[in-house]
Every structure is written in C-alpha cells, then in structure tokens.
Chains A and B, each alone.
Chain A
Amino acid sequence: MNLRDYEGIAEPGDLRAIEHMAARLVGKKMLHVNSTAAGGGVAELLARMVPLFQGLGLDVRWEVMQADRPFFEVTKNIHNSLQGQGAPLTKEMWEIYRAVNIENAERIDLDADFTVIHDPQPAMFIDYRKRGLWIWRCHIDISTPVQMTWHFLKDIVKKYEASVFSVANFAQSLPITQFLMQPTIDPLAEKNVQIEDDEVRAIYERLGVPMDKPILLQVSRFDPFKDPIGVIEAYRLAKKYHDCRLVLAGGTATDDPEGEKVLAEVQEKCGNDPDIHILLLPPFSDREVNALQRGATIVLQKSTREGFGLVVAEALWKKKPVIAGDVGGIPLQVIEGVTGYLVHSVEGTAYRIRQLLENPELARHMGEAGREHIRRNFITTKNIRNYLGFWTALEKKEKVIYV
C-alpha cells in the first residue's frame, strides 16, 4: 500500500502536499505509541497509516505498550473519568499507572525526531523523552472531566510541544499548542473498499437477512448511549407507513456486563418481530459490516452521546443517507438536509425515516453528497497530510510557512 494508491480518491493537492513535506523529512524518525495492537479505532488507524508513512521514506515505528489487566482497569477508569463518569482515581491506581508507564518507557526505544503518543495510557512517556518533538493525540472527549483526574493528566500533557483533538468542543484549555484534526476512514480498508452487489447479497443471505424490503441499519455496540431501544421504537413508528426491515449489528459483548444487559433489553423489545434482525458479529467482521452498509437503504446512528462516530463516515462513504443523533462529531459529518438528518427524538427519527423511504430520489442525492463530503474531508490522506503539517509547523513556528 502506498500513497499513490489513493489517486482518484484523495484530492491531488493533498497528495502533492504530502510528498513535498515528506521529501524534506526522508530518513527522519517518527514514532507512534499506543496501548493496543489490535481492536479499537486507534490501532485500526495506525495499522493503515504507518505503512503509508514508511512508503514516503520516513523511518517510522509503531510501538505498543505491554501491560496486564490491572493497568487496563486503571486506564479504563481514567478514560471514564476524563469523560466525566465514575469516581476519582485512588493513589494506588495512579501508582499502577506510573509503574507501567516507567516500565514501558524504559523498554521502548524512544529515540525519534517526532513522537506521537496516543491517548492517556502512555502519556507519561514524555518524562523519558530523549529528543525531538512530542505531541499528545487525544482521541476522546475530555471537555467535562472529573477535575482531579484532569489535573493529574494536565501536568503531564503540558510537557508536550502540542496536543491534538478530534473536535474543538472535546478539548481543554492547555498552555501548549492545540491542533484540531478529525479522524478519518480509509477507503481502501476492508471495511470500506468497493465490493460487488453479488457479494453484498451473499453476505446478507449468510447473515439471514432477506433483502426483500427497504433496510434500516444501525451498526454499533449494544450500549445505552447508542439508544438501540429508541431505534426499535422509531422503526415501529415508521413501519406503520412503510414496510421495512431493521438490522441492529453489534459485537458479541461477552466481556461487557453492561452490553449484555442492553442486548437482553433489545431482544425483549424486539419480541417476535421477524423483520428485526439482531446480528452479533464476531471481532474482525469488517467485510460483513461493509456489505451490511452497502445493502442498507438508510443508515441510523441514533446516539445520545458520541465520540467522533466514524461509523457515520463509513456509511456516507457508501452513499447512504444517515439519520443520526446531533451529538459529538456527528454534526461534522451529517449536514442537515444535505447528507442526512440530525435528530433529537424517537419521533424525529421516525419522521425522517418515513421522509427518506417516501422519497428515494432525495435519499440518493443525499448519498451522493455524503460520499463527496467524506472524500473531501474525512479520508486517511488528510491525517497523513496533517501529521506532516504538525511536524513542519512545530519546527518552523510561524503562522504562514513556505515549505
């Protein structure tokens, strides 16, 4: 995989900018550090970006923390706490966090010209900086944190040259440069790559979903904030006017007690309706998700709370109109009345479903606009360009930089 594979998809100007900036960085060392090698959006993003950086001649490494369950329990607490949920962390928890960070920072070679630390888990690596520029890439919403947790983290983060947030509203006030960079999807990845109609039909058949009626789809974890119950209620209101099917596709949730509880509620709510299909997809079902999105008539993401919500970008990329909650990063992707509709209630969702089912031409136009909106703003090459831009900007320290 290399940059020129994106010709015909990415803006040609972005490809030229990337190659031009990379040319002066050839041979320089870039390091990314995160906490997991697989599973989760960050690992997915890095798995796609690192080979592209390597193809540009940069000496890029991606290092993953080694840690055991107690550390990840602590960092899950930190994660929740930064998002305003849960209790402040105890002294013992911070000790675990500190010890695992020290152990990993001493194990990993931190010699690089440009280091990107992803999320709070390895944030303390900054204390072991050897040289170069360091940025902290925050992928989560920390706008309303538990204050004690944020104060602890803030003291660490302010040692970096810069931080990067996905949405302006997700950020905190910091005495360092704060960049804005939206996450992106990779149009060439298994989850988004073009697949033929025959394969879409075959996957639907294998998953036991007939394609005989319009299909409403929501792909998400069984999480109360994704409001699957509200989705079923909206489907029922719309179904009085339009015969359709509802597909709720999510993970198996076996290691998540709360997910199991929500799934049980969803199953009860569905009753014996043969037109509702609950699909428990195993990990690494990217091809199936791709096919489900391509076979859907309308994609829903009725979240009441959301991070960036890249699943919306995935659906828009496949020319599907999206009806979604007006939260998190969704309004950046769903432009009201143009690429889909932003909704605030079950009734609003049902109304918009009826409107689009009644008017397939409108749905088609929205799908076309959605794909173009994503192509121009939310594909991998934008992130590659911006990382090189951050590197350049932090080196040059000017407002207008001629590269």
Chain B
Amino acid sequence: MEEKKTFRFYECFALTTLTGRRAANIVEFVEILKSASPEAIFHHMHQYFLKPHAVMPEFPNDFAVWVSESLSEPLLAEALANINPFEFSNIEDLRSEILRIIENYLRSYPPPRPVLPGREFMFNEGITIVIPTDIEAAQIHDFVQKLKTVDYSSIYFHFYESRLRLGRPTDDFSEFLATSLDSPGVAAKIKSLDPYMYSTEVLRDKIVKLVEEAL
C-alpha cells in the first residue's frame, strides 16, 4: 500500500533502426506503407513526441513533414497532420486512415513530382529503452517539484506511452493523482489534455500549472 502512494519517475529514449525501404514519390510511398511494419508506422507517427526539439517541426508526424517539405503538397500535409494517432486503438486502423487520406487526395489531384535526390522518405522503426530513475514523490508538492526536474522523456513515458501500455486513454500522472493522492479534480483536468497538441516540454508546463493551481 505504501508503495502505491509513491510515484516513481521513469525516463526513456529511442534507438532508431533502418528498414532500408525508401520512397521517392507518393506512389512508392503508398506501396511501402501498405506493407510497412506496425513498428514503422508507430515510429513515424509518435517519434515527434519523444525526440528532443530545440526547434519545433511544422507538423507532429514524419509523414506530414515529408509531404510538406519534400513533396511540397501542403494540402495533403495538412490532412495527414490532422490525424491524431492517440485516437486509434490499433496500428492497422491508423494505417488504413493514412492510406484513405492519401488515396482520396490522389483521386482529386495530379500526383506530385518525385522528390529531389536525398529527400526520399526512409521508413524506420524504433526500439525504446526505459530507465527507472531514483526520482520519487509521495506528496503532491513533492510531485510537482520533481515533475519540473525530470527529463522530457519522462513526460512522454508517463503521458503518451502510458496510453499504449495501459490500453486506454489515460496517463500515469492522472492515475496517481486520483488514486494515491486523492486529487480527482486535477487528475481529470490532466486526463483531458489533448496529447496530440503539445510537445513534451509544453505539456510538462501545462501539467505543472494545473497541479500548482490545485494546491
């Protein structure tokens, strides 16, 4: 029981692995996407949230960024950017949605030109290494102080990755605040934050602000 009342922060980082598959135009891209591994689709739709950003990319997934920057198709890029990967309970549904958007686009517009050499889309995958830290908190004041100091990857692990780990749209922070610290109000506010709209750094500030307001 005592253990449950202590929140232990985990941090993580991703190793990128290359599949060797590359697309130089939208037709090749669609063909590879149809048979790409679920891990590759997950990687390209989520790595934005785990990578350190000194400079925020225009869109939060790799497909939209490539279509915008390398294919120069803003309309399609915007449609892809609007996909919220956290709304999908499995990767196959997510794959189908990406394909549906691209195929709809190609029915309405001529296919874009191939990309310049060196700008091909490289299909990659990721391996996540999770590190338990010694950073723990048992009280809400302590929790918010520690939250300010942990690595941004800890926010990813407890807020984004938790959705996959727990299999439901929730996060470790709101679970802890609601069940162990008896703070259901702030927990509900954190749970209702849209994970897709924030980088981990911004999300940290939001959560800290919500908890401090509740104190």
A residues with CB within 8 A of B: 11-14, 16-17, 20-21, 165, 168-169, 171-174, 177-180, 327, 335, 338-339, 369, 372-373, 375-377, 385-386, 389-390, 392-393, 398-403
Contacts and interface: CB of A to CB of B under 8 A. Distances in A.
Interface residues of B, number: 33
Contacts of A169: 22, 118, 120, 122
Contacts of B21: 173
B11 A13 contact: yes
Contacts of B13: 13-14, 17, 385, 389
Contacts, number: 100
B16 A179 contact: yes
16 contacts: A11-B52, A14-B13, A16-B11, A17-B129, A168-B124, A169-B22, A180-B16, A180-B18, A338-B55, A369-B55, A376-B53, A385-B13, A390-B15, A398-B127, A399-B39, A402-B132
Contact of A178 (B20, B53, B118, B149): B20
B157 to A, nearest CB: 10
A400 to B, nearest CB: 5
Contacts of B39: 399
A13 B129 contact: no
A372 B39 CA distance: 30
Nearest to A182: B16
Contact of B124 (A12, A180, A386, A403): A180
B32 interface: no
Interface string B125-163: 011111111000000000000000111111000000000
Interface in B4-59: 11, 13, 15-22, 39, 52-55
Nearest to B135: A16
Nearest to A163: B18
Contacts of A327: 118
A168 B118 CA distance: 10
A276 B136 CA distance: 59
A392 B130 CA distance: 11
A400 B127 CA distance: 6
A33 to B, nearest CB: 22
